């Protein structure tokens, strides 16, 4: 396996397919790099270098006790970019991963970055606070953590329904649901819990203010996990000249339910 050992001793697994202009993918909670297989194969077959990694604590990466704050997660990305000597890379983040790539820009700038893509992202802020009253209430995230602690396998299995919009007319195969559960259970329960705190409480507004590269934002208007009105819509307003695409009827997991539409939109953005 291809791994990078970070400065704090964490082993990060990554896959690196194809050659050409690099595209780096950051996955959502509680998945791993394999969620990107459709997008990576599509782009690598068309002359791009597609790279995806397992966030610390998830997939095939090691499971340290600490480091699940977004500053550390962005530092992990920076070390991977340096390790692979990526130049003019397009950063693609889904859900929690949108926070990873945004915080990377907030901490390290865009010297190595050609573009940013936020897909169903938790940016600019998901949770509720005094200056963000429309955010999701803390009780929702406490319920998620309780479900993970009590019966993680069943909770994640049930989570597929809102994630893929199965209660809103969408359909995915039993194989997709099994694969989703498999990816989720490879992660440590501690990392799974800690990341709920991170993606629900972190404010990415200062990071988005530093974005000065072409940006594509895609969000489903039927997202039951990361509501569009408080995330994708606001991110598009805060990032200068961002391009916003709203997928009608799409759930949070549109990388699966709308895979071909997403693949072609990514290709169009990269080849602009």
Q: Is 90 left (phi over 0), alpha (psi -120 to 50) or beta?
A: beta
What is the Cα–Cα distance from 80 to 153, expressed in whole angstroms?
31
Is 223 a known active-site residue?
Answer: yes
Residue with tokens 């501690």: 190
- The catalytic residue among 75, 252, 258, 265 is 252
Sequence-ordered list of residues with C-beta below 8 angstroms from that of 51, at least 6 positions apart, any chain = 14, 15, 16, 17, 22, 23, 24, 25, 80, 84, 86
- The catalytic residue among 75, 76, 100, 223 is 223
Is 71 a known active-site residue?
Answer: no
- The catalytic residue among 95, 121, 188, 200 is 95
Is 45 a known active-site residue?
Answer: no
The set of catalytic residues is 95, 223, 252
């Amino acid at each position: 396996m291809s791994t990078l050992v970070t400065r704090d001793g964490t082993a990060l697994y990554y896959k690196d397919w194809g050659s050409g202009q690099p595209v780096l993918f950051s996955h959502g909670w509680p998945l791993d790099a394999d969620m990107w297989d459709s997008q990576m194969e599509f782009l690598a077959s068309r002359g791009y270098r597609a790279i995806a990694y397992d966030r610390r604590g998830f997939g095939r990466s090691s499971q340290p006790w600490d480091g699940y704050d977004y500053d550390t997660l962005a530092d992990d990305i920076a070390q991977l970019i340096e390790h692979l000597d990526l130049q003019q890379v397009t950063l693609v983040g889904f859900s929690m991963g949108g926070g990873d790539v945004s915080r990377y820009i907030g901490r390290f700038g865009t010297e190595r970055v050609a573009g940013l893509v936020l897909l169903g992202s938790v940016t600019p802020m998901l949770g509720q606070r005094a200056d963000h009253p429309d955010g999701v209430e803390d009780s929702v995230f406490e319920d998620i953590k309780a479900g993970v602690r009590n019966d993680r396998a069943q909770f994640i299995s049930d989570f597929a329904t809102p994630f893929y919009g199965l209660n809103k007319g969408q359909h995915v195969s039993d194989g997709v649901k099994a694969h989703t559960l498999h990816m989720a259970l490879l992660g440590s329960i501690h990392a799974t819990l800690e990341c709920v705190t991170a993606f629900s409480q972190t404010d990415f507004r200062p990071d988005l203010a530093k974005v000065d590269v072409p940006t594509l934002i895609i969000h489903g208007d039927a997202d039951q996990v990361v509501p569009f009105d408080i995330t994708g819509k606001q991110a598009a307003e805060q990032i200068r000249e961002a391009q916003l695409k709203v997928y009608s009827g799409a759930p949070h997991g549109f990388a699966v339910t709308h895979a071909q539409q997403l693949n072609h939109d990514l290709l169009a953005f990269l080849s602009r």
